[in-house]
Structure 1
């Protein structure tokens, strides 16, 4: 996996941002049986930065906790047969041959506030938001109740396998 983190707000946590993000992304790809080398970019920003992106790209004029910008459109979530279709050239990074899945943007301030609100560690909240966004990059959504249940279960399974639980980790 090719993985790049840009921490534009110099956020500091009591865990290694890149290590946790990488392990979560790798576990999601493993759990979904992603068949090729993947490339993912992550940006750590603040309320102002994510607010601006939310307004510009989603026409929503407020901050949020995480944004996902998938590069691939799926007919069925987690069905990677689309990688062999006619649009493959739009998915492959010509410099390294990897499949560019997309971008993840995480709001550092929301990681902190939501960890407090939900009573778990910042590491757990950061890992959850990373997993959540990764499943979006794999075609999952949560607009309908049944979709939300599937996505929530997948997120929880990934974090549990990594030992990142609500009880303090």
Structure 2
């Protein structure tokens, strides 16, 4: 699995230790879904202005959001189990100002919020959504599994 990080914001340093936590969470999401083919994921850290522009362009919502996911393939393509090359799974875009804001709002650490949004974005790339309550419950259970597996809780750490 290949993971690429692109830090396009200047507000907060994203240390290597944080990136290692994110990599572990991404690997666990892939493992949880039993994906056996090699995949590639891109995670970008941006300012509110950039994510607002993307949100407006692709979702017709003219406001900043916390995370956007852009899957490049359908889930069925991952379940074949055979690929002669690394499959680009998609891109996750995360607003660092939103991470900071939401960590304070929810009363937990920056690291916990950043990992959660990365995991949330990963499950979107893997074909999950939260449009209705049933889908939301399935997706939340998967997110919670990954978060508990790396011992990241909702409480500040």
TM-score (norm 2): 0.91
Task: Tell me which residue corresponds to 1:166.
Answer: 154
Residue in structure 1 matched with residue 35 of structure 2 by the alignment: 34
Gaps of 5+ in 2: none
CA distance in structure 2 between the aligned counterparts of 1:13 and 1:110, rounded to whole angstroms: 14
For the aligned residues, what is the CA RMSD?
A: 1.9
**Are the aligned partners of 1:13 and 1:122 in contact in 2 as well (CA < 8 Å)?**
no
CA 1:133–1:147: 2 relative to 1, 3 Å: same
Deviation at 1:13, TM superposition (A): 5.0
By how many angstroms is 1:17 displaced? 3.4
Contact 2:37 2:81 in 1 (8 A): no
Deviations 1:69-108 (A, max 9, x none): 0011236xxx833566xxx8xxx8xxxx201100000000
Q: Which residue of 2 aligns with 1:18?
A: 19
Aligned to 2:79: 81
1:123 aligns with 2:111: yes
Give 1:2 deviation, angstroms.
0.4
Unaligned runs of 5+ residues in structure 1 are none
Secondary structure of 2:117's aligned partner: helix
Count of matched residue positions in the alignment of Structure 1 and Structure 2: 156
TM-score normalized with structure 1 length? 0.85
Question: Tell me, what secondary structure is at the counterpart of 2:24?
Answer: helix
**Do structure 1's residue 58 and structure 2's residue 56 form an aligned pair?**
no
Q: CA–CA distance in 2 between the matches of 1:64 and 1:101? A: 21
Where 1:148 maps in the other structure, the secondary structure is helix
The residue that corresponds to 1:9 in the other structure is 9
